[in-house]
Amino acid sequence: MDLLYIILNVAVMAVMLGVLWNMARKHVKFTKRVFVGLGMGIAFGAILQIIFKSDSHVVAVSTDWFGLVGNGYVAFLKMIVTPLIMVSIISAITKLSSTKGLGKMAGIIIGFLVFTTLISAVVGATSANIFHLNAESIQAGQNETDRAQVLEEKLGDVEQMSVPQKIVEFIPTNVFQDMAGGRPTSTLGVVIFSAFLGIAALQVKRKKPKQAEMFNDMIDACYAVIMRIVTLILRMTPYGVLALMASTIATTNIEGILNLGTFVLASYVAIFIMFIVHGLLVTVFGLNPITFFKKAMSTLIFAFTSRTSAGSIPMNIETQTKRMGVSEGIANFSASFGASIGQNGCAGIYPAMLAVMIAPTVGINPMDPAFFIKLIVIVAISSFGVAGVGGGATFAALIVLSSMNLPVGLAGLLISIEPLIDMGRTALNVSGAMTSGVCSARILNEIDLDVYNDENAGLAEVQ
């Protein structure tokens, strides 16, 4: 009987994919198709959850088949990340007249990322205090206990490295290893190597213009081909969002959400406030925030459903350059840095909330100004070093909790709701990267306002 249900579920998914394909044939707007995919995924996932329950064999096998579309789409995006970063950054630098503005551009982008993470830490800690989150009231089962042991083991590796050592880890000692994603800091390693390669090519241009011209032509050709691949992959977005959302909703632990509902609510309140902060920052620099979020929506939906900041890099760059008019150099640096440094959700809100929630278990008043200020400073500093130990919310939490002398094992209490809150955190990470790119471009006067204000800019290529 289970086999029959599985076949039926896969057939229903195929029909919904067919609906999206038919909408594409009729040239329905890309953003509308993404929202339709999201809605159908939520509805279908909820139905599977109600009928079969999240931990059933039918749901496990069905979502495994859905992964052909959802996980396959994410894999395609990850496939193109490294070549896209390389050719885009090299191409952007070789088109500069000099390297004088390169350091300034990178500094402004990183400054925005860390600044917004500092704000997100304040928002996260405040939200946790308002909702009176306390780890003492949460009961730990076997899964939570096992998770706590894993976190304790990981802490040993994290504590062995200082922040300067983590920053040194960014430097690629073996660029081919980084191209293959062999290290936690591979993305930043590729960015650094590509920047050096672009600078070298720019300097060669003065002494050996013929060789430099050949190199530039090769990079331009590679860039054109890579961007075409990106366009082809992005056309799969509605299908990927449908499958990913259906799988996520169907496998979500509803009981865990109900038990930890206050933490989920507090997390999303903080995330929502940070989206407002991003909109305010965009407004401060003379740009329409509604336009910003409209154009970013497809990318944010993908980040929300896929829970991968790195996998969102191609869509992030495409949105900034084609839809928002940001220069290629700024878009590439902000998207790449934003996937590892200054993650507003994973390195800002999450560890700050955990620290406030865990503090009472060791007799610390989270409302104590000294504790609060120390927490915010540590979160801001750690957000810059998170990539040095792998990035992501788990490592950010380990660094912050250990620096605050708080028990890291208690973070394992949230394992049942981790996927749900990670969706919002990832979307916020990507929004923060886009905000840093757009605001930096505005400061450096490297944004085409006609493109930014054009509602249909960049949509034709992915229809």
Phi, psi of 447 (to 5 degrees): -135, 135
| CATH of the domain spanning 2-462 | 1.10.3860.10
Q: Tell me how far apart the alpha carbons of residues 138 and 201 are, in angstroms, rounded to a whole number.
A: 57
The radius of gyration of the chain from alpha carbons, rounded to an integer in Å, stands at 22
Q: How many CB atoms lie within 10 A of CB 447?
A: 24
Q: Which residues contact 176 (CB under 8 A, 6 or more apart)?
A: none
The full length of the chain comes to 463
Per-residue buried b or exposed e for 127-136, using 16+ beta carbons within 10 Å of the residue's own CB: bbbebebbbe
Residue 72's pLDDT is 92
CB 312 within 8 A of CB 73: no
- On whether the pTM is more than 0.75, the answer is yes
pLDDT tens for each residue of the chain, 463 residues long: 788 989 999 999 999 999 999 999 998 888 889 889 999 999 999 899 888 887 788 989 999 999 999 999 988 988 888 888 888 888 878 877 666 678 888 889 989 998 999 999 999 999 998 988 887 655 544 454 555 455 555 555 555 566 666 667 777 888 888 888 777 667 778 888 888 888 888 888 878 888 888 988 898 899 889 888 988 888 898 999 999 989 888 887 776 666 677 888 999 999 999 999 999 999 999 999 999 999 999 899 989 988 888 788 888 999 999 999 999 889 988 988 888 787 898 888 988 998 888 888 888 888 888 888 888 888 887 776 555 444 467 777 777 877 788 877 666 666 667 778 888 999 999 999 999 999 999 999 999 999 999 888 766 566 6
Given this model, what pLDDT does residue 203 score? 85
Which residues are registered as beta bridge partners of 326? 447
Asked if 93 and 329 touch (Cβ cutoff 8 Å), the reply is yes
- Count the neighbouring beta carbons within 10 Å of the beta carbon of residue 295: 25
| Rounded Cα–Cα distance for residues 296 and 173 (Å) | 35
Q: Is 202 helix (H, G, I), strand (E, B) or coil?
A: helix
What pLDDT does 149 receive? 57
> So what's the pLDDT on residue 391?
45
